[in-house]
Structure 1
Amino acid sequence: MAESLLFTFAESLIGKLASGAVHEASLALGVQADLQQMKKSMSLIKAFLLDAEQKKPRSSSLSEWLIQIKQVFSDAEDIVDDFECEALRKHVVNTHGGLTRQVRRFFSISNPIIYRIRMAHEIKDIKERLQKVAADGNTFGLQIIDQDTRVVHVTDTNYSHVNPSNVIGRQDEKQEILKLLLQHDHDGHDKSLSVVSILGFGGLGKTTLAKLVFNDTTIDECFPLKMWVCVSGDFELRNVLIKILNSALNPTNENFKNFETEQLQNRLRNTLQRQKFLLVLDDVWNEYQARWDDLKEILDVGVEGCKILVTTRSHLTATMMCTKSSNSYLLERLSEDDSLFLFVKTAFKEGKEERYPELLEIGKEIVIKCGGIPLAVKTLASSLFSVVGKSKWEAMRDDKIWNLPQKEKDILHALEISYNQLPSHLKPCFVCFSLFCEGSEFFSFYVAKLWEALGFLPPPKENETMHDVAIQFLRELWSRSFLTDLIELSHGYSFKLHDLVHDLAMYAAKGEFQTIYPRSSKISPNARHLAFSDNNLLDQAVIPTGLRTIIFPDEATNEAFFNTLVSRCKYLRFLELSNSIYESLPPSIGKLKHLRYLSLFGNKNLKGLPRSVCNLQNLETLNLNQCTELQQLPKGISKLISLRQLHITTRQLHFPDQEISTLTSLETLTFNSCDNLESLLKGIQLSSLKNLSLHDCGKLKSLSSHVISNLENLVIDNCCELELSMGFGNQIPDLRLKSLAFKSLQQLVTLPQWLQGSVNKLHSLAIADCNNLKELPEWLSSAICLKLLLIEYCSSLQSLPDNLKNLENLTINSCPELCKRYQPWVGQDYHKISHIQKVFVGELEE
């Protein structure tokens, strides 16, 4: 399906050809006419691509033509990016006149005359190749389609739980599952712990049905402790125990990944003691009896009436886990009437279907082809939401994919049609998900960095960030039912993919995006994006030179492979080395001049970075968080002129404030466990800095007041020596702060006075584990934008400000006096918060 990604690639490349850097370079090299001809040929080829995509090329000649296009476009992109790199280098040379001889030599790698000759030759070669493939396109009878008219209409989303009104045709099934979970085992068989399963093939809605049951009020009344775990293909005991513990109450936010298996077992059994619980194990594939027996022995703590609800596609799994055969519920397809009801509810705005009787008739035919599989019905219907053109409905009904042979329970064809209906700009973004394991939880800020590094996002509009653009793309994919479990967080979203949708991403990604698993096929020579699931696989890998992305597995150690990668793959954009255990990086990493993203998060062995890292002028994100042995940042970091995000853990005593002050693109700065720093950002201005986070910096005493005035988001966590007044006697007028979080600050008695300057901007305020906090200021009542307030583990806090009229979301937990006064319906001050839409007040301690 490579043709489905080419149109967006072509659009992006044509846009780059119009950039100022390319124009300047073309004049200097005398190749302006050649570049104009390249752009003309690309525009013609692009016009053919949408028709080629819609024809779903089955002939080898058309497929080969598309491969040739991909190759020549990739080579052209490399040249364009090279021009942009040279422009950045020139800027750095002009800005940093006092460079060492070594760095000057780096900028003079190519003799200017030789460089001009080489680039001019490559441009002419690409121009001729483009003209040839453009001419070849005429032989396939392809029509010219200049614009992608597929539009996404974003619908409202429901983030946290399944909405019962959106679940069609499963009420009887829900009641049957509830009956199985609530019944008593009168025969005494496995009286303390029984297992119920929901069995059915992919796409029938097993997880949705389980959620419907899980959130039912009768379940809340019957089971004091509820836990939900998505298991997927990983049934390794230690990993499952960690997931269960994380799903149970974890008030201290312990990191169970550091526990040994024996510790995990003991902690879980202690958690489950004396509590009747319901545990949902979603999407279980394990068919090994011994693995299940090991887990069951730990979970069976002798409490009567505890239940486990399992969803699985495997009859063997259901038989093995269920305590008796009658506890296995076989989920059937939706009826035709229910399927049509679901289709109409998804494809039309409420009550609008009667206006379009012709579309409704076509919809009935599409529904029949879906065979009663809810995922297929909903995904196809989502693609047609608010589309009133009859031709598009007919095209979906008559798509030739329906005629291809498929297994009875295979819905990939229906999902492929939905994928083909995606606007071209969403397809490469969606296919990126194939690089991650099935069942992965995604976070919008990470996905945004991946998409941005690969050039999949358009430039943001005024007052927008790249993350905002990525959020819009994610909402579009959600509206098409490609994402599930979308949950709004304080600064973005988390979400997952249905495993069949993940299969679709892998199917669409063939040849270009590839994840290497044990016993998987060899790396495609055309691969541009690679992820490795296991460190042992690195020895076997022959790396294509055109890689743009590589994601290393945890605990990667293979230095020979890493050195080969750096020397061969000079066009890398995204390099993920999180949780690796390399002690150093090769100096040659500085030659990765196209690199946009470099993460060394969690590398406990890394002691230093080579100075050549500072030659990465395109680098936008550098993550050194939790690199606990890192002695200091390399000198020359001021040359990273494109850097937008910098995350740091370092042992150095003095932070290079002056070098950082020259990073005019820097938007996000995070300090974590920088134990030796006593002051930060002294006497400098960072006008572009919007987000600042300080975590576990135990000796930090002062933070520059100049930095605070431009921030939009500020987090201060466990920095107990920090002077929170920041040297301000009064408020900062016109403070831009939108989000503030204070955590584990024993010096916090009342909010600092300067914060009042954010009264017209502050949107969310979170305070946790500040036991000496005695009051909140009354000016919070005048905070017109304050929507979210979270107070946890603040034992000295007695009351809230009156008249929090604009607040929409309030959480109070583990604050004894507050919980008592504001307890819903019974607290003496509950009437003061009863108007707030979402209120959670923790239970009173005994």
Structure 2
Amino acid sequence: MAEAVVSVTLETIRDLLVEEAKFYYGVRSEVEAIQQELQRMRSFLKDADSKQDTDERVQNWVAEVREAAYDIEDNVLVFVAAKVASRRSRNSRNVFRRMGCFLKEIVTTYRVGSRISDIKSKISGLTTSLQTYGIKPITDPGEGASSKNGRINDLRRSYSHVVEEDIVGLEEDIKMLVGHLVDEQKDRVVSIYGMGGLGKTTIARKLYSHSDVRRHFDGFAWTCVSQQWDKKDIMVGILIKLIPEKREDILCMRDEELVKQLHDVQLKKKCLVVLDDIWSGQAWESLKPAFPNSRTGEGSKILLTTRNKEVAVFVDPNGFLYEPRFLSNEESWELLQKKAFPRRGDDNAEFKIDPDMEKLGKEMVGPCCGLPLAILVLGGLLITKHTLRDWQMVYENINWYLARGRGHGQQQAVNDVLAFSYHDLPFQFKQCFLYFANFPEDFEIEAEKVYQFWLAEGIISQDERAEEETMMDVAERYLAELAQRCMVQVNVKETAGGFKNCRLHDLMRDLCISKAKDENFTKVIDFRREKKATESYASSNTARRVSVYLETNETNSPVACSEYNHIRSAFFYASDCKGDFLQHMKSHLGSFKLLRVLDLQGFHYPDELPKAIGDLIHLRYLCLSYSQFKKLPSSLGKLIFLETLDLEADTTLEIPNVVWKMGRLNHLYLPSNFLTQDGAKLRLDGLSELETLVNFNTSLCDVKDLDRLTNLRKLRAAIKDNLDDLPNIIKYISFTQNHLRRSSLSISCPQFCSDAELSLLRTLLGCHRLYKLSIRGHIAKLPEHYHFSSTIAKIAFKASALSEDPMATLEKLPKLSSLTLYDSTYVGEEMVCLTKGFPRLLYLKLWGLSNLKTWRIDEGAMPKLTRLVIAHCGKLEMLPDGLKFITTLQKLNVRWMPDGFKNRLRAADGEGEDFYKVRHVPDIKLD
């Protein structure tokens, strides 16, 4: 991975030399000289990285190069920080302060110049030793524009493939397990156990979504227990899924209340609770009181996955135990084909696999020992290889890799296959993969945040950008590459496209942590496991990243910050920490001189973010999500290099009016509720580089500032109380010269009734970059369908009081995927959905249409609908007969409807008269 570190260092130096040339007076010649030395060194590193697994001397040499590159970057960044501080001091009225900073600058210049000269000598010495180790320079010819664009298109087309969970050879087993779950006379607990990578969670997901299972149970909840579990978090998560209407009450409950409520709800209705990845009997012992211990209730059951058979037996000695078998050679080859050749599908009858490729594939799949994860990872590697020669090289390399004799046994062979997937990664992807070591076990992280982390650390090069791409687009391609190789699991956004979130499989996370440790990439400090966690840091005090897990109800010791002056990224997971950890930390924040990423999650105290945050001059990413800070310091304005600022805290936040000074800001997430310290509207006019703006509220921000945001790609805005600012919003969204790709707008106003207001609404609906629209207020008449832009995908209307059936218009929108009609949006009695209407609709919610009596759906309407919610429509007589034609419907949720309406849908104790309409729907909830 040294090649990746050197590349990042070179990019950092290049960027700073170009953008901050005035800073380099005094050290420029030294910096340029070492830049040339590193450029020469990089040509040797590709060969060295590939040989370090077989030669300990080469491994040590690579490590020295890596640390030298880090050291160079450290010194350059320290020098820039000193220059910035000196430049600021020139505006001070204090003569002694100006003189002190001037002298400090001279000393820093001398020290940095001297240190860089020393490192240059060390690099030169390392270069001369290359011949001893037989390392040769490898020139990277690079990619042509056409091949790069072809690869980009391949990845974009494959987004639908990277999330598929293929199961081969276990179809009968799944049918048998479904039988155990839906038979109320059989086992209360069904356990799937076995070694990591057998597909336990994949099988559990298949069962969880199976149509017979969805029809049988009334409530469903899935929780991942993992090795580091929190009893309260688990119970809260389960309860919210079983009784979502009581979410606010659940969040305020004490432990004993949660136990009783969870126990009682499983007695009142049939619930299926999945406890995924439970590691210990201790975890079950803690949760046990919240689960009924007999079959006297409504037939609630537990589906459990674990690596340890002993845990499954401990949970229920009489429960059903199932261990997935390893795949046969034929099944292994079948699974490998599905992954390595995703476009070979049944509809591609002409597709044939090269016989020589097939022979190599069958040979290579052998070391996977029939373990599905290993086979999928190998297939993900082979999907990037397109020729027979490519497959031959993989075959030769994997045989060499497995023949090194690291160990014996099935588990070791599988681990080596997974490790080879990391070994095969192009250097630019290795740091991206290792970055996942910073996140907790079974942690799902938003893909957008992952991109921003990578970019903040400079892991992704500007040179990777193709025409019309942003750096976020490049980062998405990187994640697609890792997902395609099955190294990262991802979820795809149903309507918007792209990735929603991502996570690592347990075995892949083990590999990630192991490699991160070998590369001295990150360090975990876990106060949940040991109270003196910081003492363990001394053995690894040059790690460039740190993740700190804080105990919820105890005061945690401050991190030994003197050891942290090299840190690039710091993640603090507070989990509703009520201690004064940040108060202890604030006097030490200045030690994090080189920090680029600071992620503060779950903090409840202190009220104000420490002022010392402004001293972190190199900070690129700052996040306060899920925390309850109430005030930000004005020193925030000093963060001139900041690229991402996430202020979506859980409270009303007081923000200093300094955000406009952050000229390099690319992504700004404002709180849904905030106020400014000076009482004026929040200024954003200096943010010409901004690409993402979330929670822009016209009552709190000046809409005229949007005209200055010429680089914006994504806008989520809100208008409240009146429509005065709507013309300016429309003007910005419609302006063809800006780069806006997608906008979401929420409007809450009294009405759209006058001719002028309706004209304004028609103009808004015609905006071609409008993706999502929510309107709360009276609408005299819905504009005709041809006034709507074809780009609109999501619509929500509330309290519109429309007298004419809105479906006649909305069903003609070609890309509408989500529609919500709230609180008397339609006051008529009859609603009709015609054939071919709503061609792309996936989600439909009808809530509070109090006058609606009849609803007709013609055959061929809503051909892609997957989820339907009907609630508080008290006069609706029955479900439309046409639902029986919508074979794609997966979920039907009927809430707060009259008993007579719900009884017509019940399948138990004799079918209700309307049940035939939805017999095909796997998941029906009647709340």
Q: TM-score range, shorter-chain basis?
A: 0.7 to 0.9
Asked if structure 2 preserves the Cα contact closer than 8 Å seen for 1:287 and 1:320, the reply is: yes
* Distance in 2 separating the partners of 1:622 and 1:317: 44
Asked if structure 2 preserves the Cα contact closer than 8 Å seen for 1:85 and 1:618, the reply is: no
How far the C-alpha of 1:372 sits from its partner, in A, is 1.6
- In structure 2, the residue matched to 1:644 is 666
The correspondence for 1:46, drawn from 42, 45, 49, is: 42
How far the C-alpha of 1:124 sits from its partner, in A, is 3.2
Residues 79 and 174 of structure 1, relative CA distance in 2, 3 Å threshold: same
The correspondence for 1:310, drawn from 289, 304, 310, is: 304
- In structure 1, the residue matched to 2:65 is 69
Report whether the alignment pairs 1:591 with 2:594.
no
TM-score (norm 1): 0.84
Asked if structure 1 preserves the Cα contact closer than 8 Å seen for 2:224 and 2:442, the reply is: yes
Report whether the alignment pairs 1:829 with 2:825.
no
Asked if structure 1 preserves the Cα contact closer than 8 Å seen for 2:162 and 2:486, the reply is: no
Residues 345 and 198 of structure 1, relative CA distance in 2, 3 Å threshold: same
How far the C-alpha of 1:396 sits from its partner, in A, is 1.4
The correspondence for 2:687, drawn from 638, 663, 682, is: 663
The one-character-per-residue Cα deviations of 1:700-749 (angstroms, maximum 9, x if unpaired) are: 8864643443345455569567999699586259735332242xx64253
Q: Which stretch shifts more, 483-492 or 712-721?
A: 712-721
Aligned ranges 1:195-274 → 2 under 5 Å: 195-248=189-242, 250=244, 254=248, 256-265=250-259, 267-268=261-262, 271-272=265-266, 274=268
- In structure 1, the residue matched to 2:274 is 280
- In structure 2, the residue matched to 1:167 is 167
Asked if structure 1 preserves the Cα contact closer than 8 Å seen for 2:197 and 2:371, the reply is: yes
Asked if structure 2 preserves the Cα contact closer than 8 Å seen for 1:318 and 1:328, the reply is: yes
Residues 758 and 571 of structure 1, relative CA distance in 2, 3 Å threshold: farther
* Distance in 2 separating the partners of 1:423 and 1:359: 22
* Distance in 2 separating the partners of 1:464 and 1:89: 35
Identity %: 22
How far the C-alpha of 1:776 sits from its partner, in A, is 4.7
- In structure 2, the residue matched to 1:499 is 506
- In structure 2, the residue matched to 1:379 is 377
- In structure 2, the residue matched to 1:188 is none
Report whether the alignment pairs 1:710 with 2:732.
yes
Q: Which stretch shifts more, 439-448 or 389-398?
A: 389-398
Asked if structure 1 preserves the Cα contact closer than 8 Å seen for 2:785 and 2:812, the reply is: no
Q: Which stretch shifts more, 352-361 or 718-727?
A: 718-727
Residue aligned with 1:52, SS:
helix
- In structure 2, the residue matched to 1:434 is 437
Residues 377 and 804 of structure 1, relative CA distance in 2, 3 Å threshold: same
How far the C-alpha of 1:547 sits from its partner, in A, is 0.1
* Distance in 2 separating the partners of 1:258 and 1:100: 50
* Distance in 2 separating the partners of 1:564 and 1:679: 33
- In structure 1, the residue matched to 2:523 is 514
How far the C-alpha of 1:195 sits from its partner, in A, is 0.6
Residue aligned with 1:577, SS:
strand
Amino acid at match of 2:132: T
The correspondence for 1:747, drawn from 773, 777, 794, is: 777
How far the C-alpha of 1:487 sits from its partner, in A, is 3.6
Residue aligned with 2:546, SS:
strand
Report whether the alignment pairs 1:14 with 2:42.
no
How far the C-alpha of 1:14 sits from its partner, in A, is 2.8
Amino acid at match of 1:69: V
Residues 259 and 136 of structure 1, relative CA distance in 2, 3 Å threshold: farther
Report whether the alignment pairs 1:324 with 2:310.
no
Amino acid at match of 1:393: Y
Report whether the alignment pairs 1:615 with 2:638.
yes
Asked if structure 1 preserves the Cα contact closer than 8 Å seen for 2:218 and 2:270, the reply is: yes
Asked if structure 2 preserves the Cα contact closer than 8 Å seen for 1:23 and 1:32, the reply is: no
Residue aligned with 2:819, SS:
strand
Amino acid at match of 2:608: S
How far the C-alpha of 1:614 sits from its partner, in A, is 0.9
Amino acid at match of 1:522: Y
Q: Which stretch shifts more, 308-317 or 793-802?
A: 793-802
Residues 391 and 346 of structure 1, relative CA distance in 2, 3 Å threshold: same
The correspondence for 2:590, drawn from 564, 567, 573, is: 567
Asked if structure 1 preserves the Cα contact closer than 8 Å seen for 2:780 and 2:802, the reply is: yes
Asked if structure 2 preserves the Cα contact closer than 8 Å seen for 1:765 and 1:788, the reply is: yes
5+ long unaligned stretches in structure 2: 734-740, 871-891, 902-927
Amino acid at match of 1:810: L
Residues 741 and 533 of structure 1, relative CA distance in 2, 3 Å threshold: farther
How far the C-alpha of 1:28 sits from its partner, in A, is 6.1
How far the C-alpha of 1:789 sits from its partner, in A, is 2.5
Report whether the alignment pairs 1:791 with 2:807.
no
Residues 184 and 806 of structure 1, relative CA distance in 2, 3 Å threshold: closer
How far the C-alpha of 1:499 sits from its partner, in A, is 1.0
Q: Which stretch shifts more, 745-754 or 205-214?
A: 745-754
* Distance in 1 separating the partners of 2:840 and 2:567: 47
* Distance in 1 separating the partners of 2:786 and 2:758: 14
* Distance in 1 separating the partners of 2:772 and 2:206: 35
The one-character-per-residue Cα deviations of 1:225-258 (angstroms, maximum 9, x if unpaired) are: 3333222225543222222134336368658444
Asked if structure 1 preserves the Cα contact closer than 8 Å seen for 2:614 and 2:637, the reply is: yes
Residues 703 and 210 of structure 1, relative CA distance in 2, 3 Å threshold: same
How far the C-alpha of 1:691 sits from its partner, in A, is 3.8
* Distance in 2 separating the partners of 1:819 and 1:281: 43
Aligned ranges 1:359-370 → 2 under 5 Å: 359-370=357-368
* Distance in 1 separating the partners of 2:661 and 2:325: 61
The one-character-per-residue Cα deviations of 1:161-194 (angstroms, maximum 9, x if unpaired) are: 865xx21111232233223223453xxxxx7x71
The correspondence for 1:759, drawn from 789, 795, 820, is: 789
Asked if structure 2 preserves the Cα contact closer than 8 Å seen for 1:149 and 1:423, the reply is: no
* Distance in 2 separating the partners of 1:814 and 1:323: 46
Amino acid at match of 2:544: R
Amino acid at match of 1:532: V
Asked if structure 1 preserves the Cα contact closer than 8 Å seen for 2:643 and 2:664, the reply is: yes
5+ long unaligned stretches in structure 1: 186-190
The one-character-per-residue Cα deviations of 1:487-516 (angstroms, maximum 9, x if unpaired) are: 426664123321111111111111221222
Residues 18 and 507 of structure 1, relative CA distance in 2, 3 Å threshold: same
Amino acid at match of 1:328: L
* Distance in 1 separating the partners of 2:248 and 2:323: 38
Instruction: Number of aligned residue pairs: give it.
Output: 814
Asked if structure 1 preserves the Cα contact closer than 8 Å seen for 2:693 and 2:715, the reply is: yes
Residue aligned with 2:502, SS:
strand
Asked if structure 2 preserves the Cα contact closer than 8 Å seen for 1:444 and 1:467, the reply is: no
Residue aligned with 1:486, SS:
strand
Amino acid at match of 1:11: S
Instruction: State the Cα RMSD in Å.
Output: 4.2
* Distance in 1 separating the partners of 2:420 and 2:543: 24
Aligned ranges 1:277-426 → 2 under 5 Å: 277-288=271-282, 290-297=285-292, 302-322=296-316, 324=318, 327-348=320-341, 350=344, 355-387=353-385, 388=387, 389=390, 390-400=392-402, 403-406=405-408, 408-410=410-412, 411-426=414-429
Report whether the alignment pairs 1:550 with 2:606.
no
Residues 300 and 395 of structure 1, relative CA distance in 2, 3 Å threshold: same
Residue aligned with 2:602, SS:
coil
Asked if structure 2 preserves the Cα contact closer than 8 Å seen for 1:751 and 1:777, the reply is: no
Residues 747 and 103 of structure 1, relative CA distance in 2, 3 Å threshold: farther
Residue aligned with 1:766, SS:
strand
Residues 252 and 244 of structure 1, relative CA distance in 2, 3 Å threshold: closer
Amino acid at match of 2:818: L
Amino acid at match of 2:779: V
* Distance in 2 separating the partners of 1:667 and 1:346: 35
* Distance in 2 separating the partners of 1:669 and 1:66: 42
Residues 560 and 292 of structure 1, relative CA distance in 2, 3 Å threshold: closer
